[in-house]
Amino acid sequence: MGLRWDSLLVRELARELEERFAGARLRGIRLDGRSRTAALLFRDATLLWRLHPTDGAPTLHPPAEPDRSDLALPSKVRRVHAPPDERLLVCELIPNRGRHLRKLFVELLGNQWNLVVTEGAEERIRHVLVRRDGPRGLRSGATYEPPAPSPREGATGLLTAGRWREILSGTPPKQLRRTVVSTIAWTSPLNASALMRPDLDAERALREGRALWQRMASGDLPPSPTLLELERGIQPYPWPLPGIPGRPVDSLLDAFAVWSLERSGSLPGTGALPGSLLASLERAVDLGRRRVTSLVAELAGVEDPETLHAVGDLLLARLRDVPSGTGEVVLEGFDGTPVSIALDPSRAPHENAHGYYDRAARARRARTRIPEMILEAEQAVQELAALLDRARAGEAAAGEIRDALPPDSSAPGRGTAEASLPYRVYRSSGGLEIRVGRGARHNDELTFRYSAPDDIWLHARHAAGAHVILRWLKPGNPPARDLEEAALLAAVHSRARTSASVPVDWTRRKHVRKPRGAAPGAVVPQRVSTLFVEPDAARAEGLKEG
């Protein structure tokens, strides 16, 4: 189960963080909304906040170099504090340049924990870990509206003995705990039993309970970080509590580290890595596994070359028995049994025979090539998966991961507007990237600036539509299934999308030229081959990345 947080724990953690980081130089912030983590990249340390309600805690790590996807916020910590009786931590920052004060708000409220970065006296939101569109509107550009202040009594540490007695003595025993927590500031399910002390007589319990509360609420208790040993597990807390076993630790940050170690066996390791880079590695592993699955399916679908070759032999041996212009013929086989053979009616009988020989040759090559590709793909997945395990454990460097990532597998960095690219990104079932132009004025840019000479260029024949680029950097042609899926996207993103069958021309991008003075998107492809595909918008949508 996750940690329990109350306003006292937040306040004392803020004090400890101010003592540790006041005046420290902050270089940047790494926000990862997918994992709900925020890493504060100081010059001499990294403070990692996990901000998921069931797994939320701050932990201290060695310093990490800011990445290009991180938020560059060069500044100095002015102070760290928490509003009275709130589960809200505020870090004030003085920018290295500029005069507008920045603030970091760490919200530990309910099940919607968050981190918000604001700027200026009006506290305009500049960055937010998880966007919220509710009444408070936590999104970039909005004015930060803090949570409603605590309505409980005694938030400033002032609660008379008479009022304390009135609340505790005038409440039925079954409702006492709930009433105390809902009425008196700084109380929580963590400390309520220590404040009420059922093991003491009533008068002494009232007196000692209020005295302990007064010292905690006013902050007069010296720090004594403790790991409370509750039935539900260990719990970091600023002080030991009467009647609750516990063990001392040097600091609250140490307590959170011990809790993390006992919970999962290791400290979280993503603090030293950009979340976008870890996501790219996860995505590369997933795409690699999909590629293995696709190759295995492709191998299973390869025709038997011996059977195809035998059909070609039979056609040549029985040419006189094969009429022209027919789509099927039944011939007597060499063993005397009838054999039904599918034919291309537009080709002569001997051309059909050679077509079967060609298919047999392709099938033989596929049966040799695809198993080797499967072994290579499986090995690549194993290596990437092992690297991913090391990255999650904090044992892999960012540079090592970037070097291991396949080309074009990196996710767009934070702040990159995907819509600014002249193409949409799709992914074939074999894991190849497919780029689809966003319109006529972007087609030229995609074809001549965002593709390599040996990439595959596709376009629906005789129909206005998007240029499509299938990324392909290896010798030979891409797998038939990947090519067919790229052709499908070319058909769906053309004016011929409502046709039953669409011819799609394809060639190497280096064989596409732009005539001088031609209209946007108008090109002349050479050495063209043609695929016929049936437009299927649902299938095309399934290839869309993300």
Q: What is the mean pLDDT of residues 408-431?
A: 63
Average pLDDT over all residues of the chain: 87
What is the per-residue pLDDT across 213-252, written as a single tens digit (0 to 9) for each?
999 999 889 999 999 999 889 999 999 999 899 999 999 9
Exposure b/e, 388-397, CB count within 10 A at least 16 = b: beebbebebe
- How far is the CA of 483 from the CAs of 216, 289, 297, 546, in angstroms? 69, 19, 16, 21
Residues 256/58, Cβ–Cβ less than 8 Å: yes
pLDDT at position 409 over 70 = no
pLDDT given for residue 261 in this prediction:
84
DSSP state of 132: B
Q: What is the mean pLDDT of residues 22-36?
A: 88
What is the per-residue pLDDT across 345-392, written as a single tens digit (0 to 9) for each?
888 999 999 999 999 998 899 899 899 999 999 999 999 999 988 887
Q: What is the mean pLDDT of residues 38-47?
A: 93
pLDDT at position 413 over 60 = no
Residues 63/120, Cβ–Cβ less than 8 Å: no
Residues 277/307, Cβ–Cβ less than 8 Å: no
Can you list the alpha helix ranges (DSSP code H) found in 61-172?
161-169
pLDDT given for residue 266 in this prediction:
55
For residue 31, which of 75, 79, 83, 67 has the smallest C-alpha distance?
A: 67
What is the per-residue pLDDT across 50-109, written as a single tens digit (0 to 9) for each?
998 888 899 998 888 887 777 888 999 999 999 999 999 999 999 987 678 999 999 998
For residue 297, give the amino acid letter.
A
The three-state secondary structure class of 446 is: helix
